[in-house]
Amino acid sequence: MTSHKYDVVIVGSGASGGAVAYTLCKAGYKVAVLEKGRLIKRDEFSKDELAYCRRDIVTPNLFDEYHVIEEEVDGKWEATPTYDSGWSFWNGNVVGGSSNFMSGMLHRMHPDDFRLKSKYGEIKGANVVDWPISYADMEPYYLKAEEVVGISGKYEKHPFEPPRSTPDFTQPPTKENAVVKLLDKSCANLDIKSLVTARSVLSKNKGHREACYYSNFCGSYGCSSGAKGSSREALLMPALATGNLTLLSNSYVKLLHSSSKNAVDYAVVIDTVSGKEKRIEAKLFVVAAQAHESTRLLLNSANKFHPHGLGNSSGELGKNLIFSAGGSGQGELREESLKMIKFEELMQTGLFVNRSILDWYFVDHWWDGTFKGGSVEFMFEHQNIISRARKNNEEHGRLVWGSELGEKVTERFTKQKSIRFEIFNDWLPNDNCFVSLDKTHKDKYGMPVGKLRVGAHPQDLKVGKYIAKKCEKVLEEMGAKNIYSSVSPVPPQNLIAGGCRFGNDPETSILNKYCQSHDIPNLFVADASFMPTGGSVPYTWTIYANAFRVADQIVKVLEEKQIV
């Protein structure tokens, strides 16, 4: 077995792994990033719906690598491998990870998100705790992510908009569709404040990256101009330019090996092309493979020193997995009922809606009660051609064919445009949402797959439904037709956190406040695993910010030779 040694080995090349690599390489340390997937260069990305949305071009084949999902059915937990359900919990296994394919709608967490237990007290059936750090600890790193990754936006004062240490963004907002005039006016009529959404998409050129060219296909697709603030573009490419980064794609990490109780000494890695196994040695290891997979790796790395998984003396590894609760809805804007703007302006392709609502982030009203609410993003229906066309091939339980189908598709594409909202509210951590190892199912490399029990807290649904009704009224005010919404306990697979909760007490958490293992000083976990609660916004900006924060601590550890 061949061996290679570095200062730091990072498992995973997504948002968190990229931020750590960027910082350490800029500081002069020799870093290896291990990525299971392949490298896709900027000019290789296309807008091929079949390839990116209907085939496994950037995720593993589910018969090779999969998960087992436990869902409650009629009061019993039933386990189903994802190769049977088709429900994929892979989110972009390529260099840069899922950050290549995000829509890039970002928000900072609110200061009170860091102290939910203090604010609301105990919630029956939920394992809510305060964070061991505050918003003040994170704010400089939110700003760093904004500047390094490239986040465009416009700051507007709002009771639930987190405070900033700078007056505004360095990049103005991306270009907007005229529908924002109608949306803003409709919100104002309902005494609601609509805000410009921050987006990790460049509106101006930045270094080697070109500004957005408004392709009309952003989310689910890689960016061929470099405008999207992916780990690959914003972090790994500058890290490579330092000469200190070794990027090892097609590298599947089976386990982290430890020859003592207090240190990891090497990663056992399989080259996914040749099938050969090798060991990668380092002074320090950073796990950043996405929450459920990072947890699985630590569980699969159990040994005589750590019989229940690396760093799991507390027994908390895998517990309190969280997703993003909420739901979505949409309505149709048609020419005959359109107000304020011209239909031709509405139908212009490529431009963003770029609007969000934070008015219901915290609800404290004599009629509705007091509870943690959530945020809302507005956007157009995803523009994928095939999926939009398929929505017209059935009517009253019968399939539609021929000229009738043609007429319906033509009308959908030329006579209306669907506007959509997505709700993000807290997924309350609870005892029925966790990741463990499956004892019978293994991936093609012979390693036990992750078993995810997905149980939602009833409060999550109440909050989501409350906000959905508010959003439907916004669409009604806009003149939309055929309005509907859906709020369910089934989570989105692209927003996963928890499993390696951080905290000050080693008996109740896996990591300390710097995301360093309580048990193993040369082991850090930098992805969303650390999060005890997720806030009511997408996690990505917080993942970037926290990874920069963790990276600064790693630099201190290495400088002070705390780890040799």
pLDDT in tens, 65-85: 999 999 999 989 999 999 999
Note the pLDDT tens digit of each residue in 41-70: 999 999 998 989 888 899 999 999 999 999
Note the pLDDT tens digit of each residue in 498-509: 999 999 999 999
Give the per-residue pLDDT at 400: 81
Q: What is the mean pLDDT of residues 491-497?
A: 91
- Give percent of the chain with pLDDT exceeding 70: 99
pTM here is: 0.97
For the CA atoms of the chain, what is the radius of gyration? 23
Note the pLDDT tens digit of each residue in 292-338: 999 999 999 999 999 999 999 999 999 999 999 999 999 999 999 99
More confident residue, 413 or 1: 413
Q: Which domains does the chain have, with CATH numbers?
A: 1-67+89-132+220-323+492-564 (3.50.50.60)
Helices 540-559 and 15-26 pack at an angle, to 10 degrees, of 30
Give the per-residue pLDDT at 367: 86
Interatomic CA distance for residues 510 and 311, integer angstroms: 6
Of the pLDDT bands very low, low, confident and very high (cuts 50, 70, 90), residue 191 is: very high
Note the pLDDT tens digit of each residue in 437-463: 998 999 999 999 999 999 999 999 999
- What sections of 235-277 are H helices per DSSP? 237-241
Note the pLDDT tens digit of each residue in 116-163: 999 999 999 999 999 999 999 999 999 999 999 999 999 999 999 999
Give the per-residue pLDDT at 513: 98
Provide the 8-state DSSP code for 167. Answer: S
**Residue 105 CB contacts under 8 Å (≥ 6 apart), including other chains:** 197, 198, 199, 356, 377, 379, 538
Q: What is the mean pLDDT of residues 197-208?
A: 97
Is it the case that residue 18 has pLDDT exceeding 60? Answer: yes
Nearest Cα neighbor of 191 from 372, 357, 330 is 357
Average per-residue pLDDT in the chain? 95
Contact between residue 210 and residue 42 where contact means Cβ atoms under 8 Å apart: no
Q: Is 350 exposed, middle or buried (0-12, 13-18, 19+ CB in 10 A)?
A: middle
Interatomic CA distance for residues 15 and 526, integer angstroms: 9
Q: Which of 189-193, 358-362, 397-401, 461-465 has the lowest mean pLDDT?
A: 397-401
The DSSP bridge pattern shows strands 31-34 and 2-11 to be parallel
Interatomic CA distance for residues 388 and 409, integer angstroms: 8
Of the pLDDT bands very low, low, confident and very high (cuts 50, 70, 90), residue 564 is: low
